[in-house]
A and B are shown apart, each in its own frame.
Chain A
Amino acid sequence: MSHSKNTTGIGPVRAAMRKITTPFDEMRDWWGRAPGWVRWTVYGLVIVAALLAPSDSVGAFMSPESDWATILFYPIGVFVLLAIGLNVVVGQAGLLDLGFVAFFAIGGYVMAVIGTELGWNFWEIIVVAVLISSLSGIILGAPTLRLRGDYLAIVTLGFGEIVRLVAQNTDAIGGPRGINSIPHPPDMSDIEIIPDLQPFTYGVIDPRPYYYLLVALCVLVIIFARRLEKSRVGRAWAAIREDEDAAEIMGVPTFRFKLLAFAIGAAIGGATGTVFAAKMISIVPNNFPFILSATILAAVVLGGSGNLPGVILGAFLVGWLPERFRGFEDYRVLLFGGVLVLMMIVRPQGLLPSRQRSAEFAEGSGMGGMGAEVATPTAKAEVSSR
């Protein structure tokens, strides 16, 4: 709405930003028209790049100051998978969730508790963790998803904190000291692909097998999410974002679809938590602070909520940049905040938004970029109170 009007002061910045981001938009439109074989080639190249990423030569540039493979697992890989999950909730269904870290925590604690107490292996536990976290998503969503935007944001924020505080205050799961000696996943094979790399052997020292596990999960989840997006489920979510009342009258059970988005997002968050805990050996409640929810949300919004490549790019940048500029010490957080604020002023729709979301943004309808449900500009008089 008013984004384009008040240009005083930031006009030049906006112009510069447009120069930078126009190629992004052109790329997206090109991608939209690209034939199948081009897409598959690109997918293949991206996967190869992801597999080759944890090498020392790449690391020398990407992360001269800390171990690159470690950073690729956490924060980068974890952020990417979490962002893909949160994107289902915020980007697809248009629901603002400020407590997404809760599901990450639940997945982590399920892994830790069952792994140490019952001795199940990772693969059994991840199934249970996905079920439990999506169930908790449903339990949280059922009473709250009937609320409109801002209330939902507050309730989810509270939920995120409650999960952390419960963990902190429950001695049975270690209280503030958390849980130690969480088992690693069982080795799938001790094959050595290149000297010094056993990608299916999960030990203490080498983070790369865990990183590959995340990459595999990402690929599966992306395929699943993309298919959903293009199906009746994705259409229902898009319709809900555009005009919830009209969607319901056209036969969309809006509440059920919002709940579904919540459950799927939660399941992805839970799966991420399981991998995280299995790698970390020990987890503590402070691994799951509110700021992590905010960071993942920032990644989704910064990248372009609703558009998977954008969201992945956003999560990568949000995970990587602060590590890359460790040299700046405390300033990096300030810098990061500054970049976010600037982005929201000059390009609120994110780096790589979907066409639909950009359009919603331009007209101030839908949820804009943040997922908060704001009133649509069209008169609601015709169909108002329920």
Chain B
Amino acid sequence: MSRCLKGVLVAAALLPAACSSGGDSGIPEINFYNSPQQNIKAIAERCTKLADGRYKIVVNILPRDADGQREQLVRRLAAADPGLDVLALDVTWTAELAEAGWIREWTGENAKKAIEGTLKMPLDTALWQGKLYAAPYTTNVQLLWYRSDLVPNPPATWQGIMAEAARLAKAGKPHYGEVTGAQYEGLVVWFNSMVMSAGGQILQEGGTKVALGPPALEALKVMRAYATSKAADPSLSNTHEDEARLAVEAGRAAFQVNWPYVYASMASNKPDMLPNFKWAPYPGVTGPGRSPLGGANFAVSRYSEHPELAYDAALCLRDAESQKTAAIKDGLPPTLEAVYADPAMAEPYPMRQAILDALKTAAPRPKTPTYQNVSTMISAILSPPAAIQPASTLVQLRQQISDALQSKGVLP
């Protein structure tokens, strides 16, 4: 027992020291939580230098997977941890954290700076109920990547990919078209783009009611047909972004829908395949497709002890110079339109016009504070894609998304 008591006392004695922000030098520390990004330290150091002694940015690295990142952030925020200042949020978390009162609204001069020159689609992901809760940092859209040595003309629709795959299979050539079909956010991303490409939405405007309807039925039919076609990789139900990328690099697949990072990866892993590695707009269901929209925004924690400094740091971390570093060195597409025009972007981003075009019609995921529940439900119901029964799956989706929106019911 004495050992236990001692442990408690020791922990109690250590806690204040471990939790206080502010270094030995007396310069306030701004704790910045970001997903793993190779050159983020360099970006933060530049901003610390520009702050000229007003603050010092400390970079904290979150886990690699989005669920792990969200988990760590919300656990700390739920405990009112003052050791968080600037938070890098996935575009789908804005509503949840804003509604819970964990992130601060951006107003006045700070908001003006965050909005100025920012592309419309990414900016929209930082809004909740018409208020700005974060400053867009990076964005992302998926494109169709294909091997021009196997496929001379890129298909414009999923049906087109299936037809090409059947042709290639008959000729005994690599024919898989990779898509993120595992039971995780990637499956939701796919479904959302399919529904929006078919002219519908998962949720109605306002995000409190289910929309779905005939476009969703159409989307489910195409997904099922795709999952049971020659285009489907046998491990479709276990494919994440990286497995899709590797299947093309390994020569097993002819296509993939994926984020632009696959281009840089191909350039370094398989430079001999790069000349035939081409991109095209995201495939559609009937008309043109609408790309999934990704990216990250910077928010300021409610529990930050230096909010004004945190806003300032966040603005520097996402200014044109920082975004250029992130784009060129880490392959993350900028949210400031002007950065795309920078001459230094031409070589690493030959597909930059395709990205800008896709950003005009991209398919953002539904906005709701219960996005996590909605997403978990959708991926559980749609997995594995080959088992989708369009009509009955739609009924199930409608029912369980509706429960999830009210944070009713149980998550699988």
> Are A and B co-members of a single complex?
no
Q: What residues of chain A have their CB less than 8 Å away from a CB belonging to chain B?
A: none
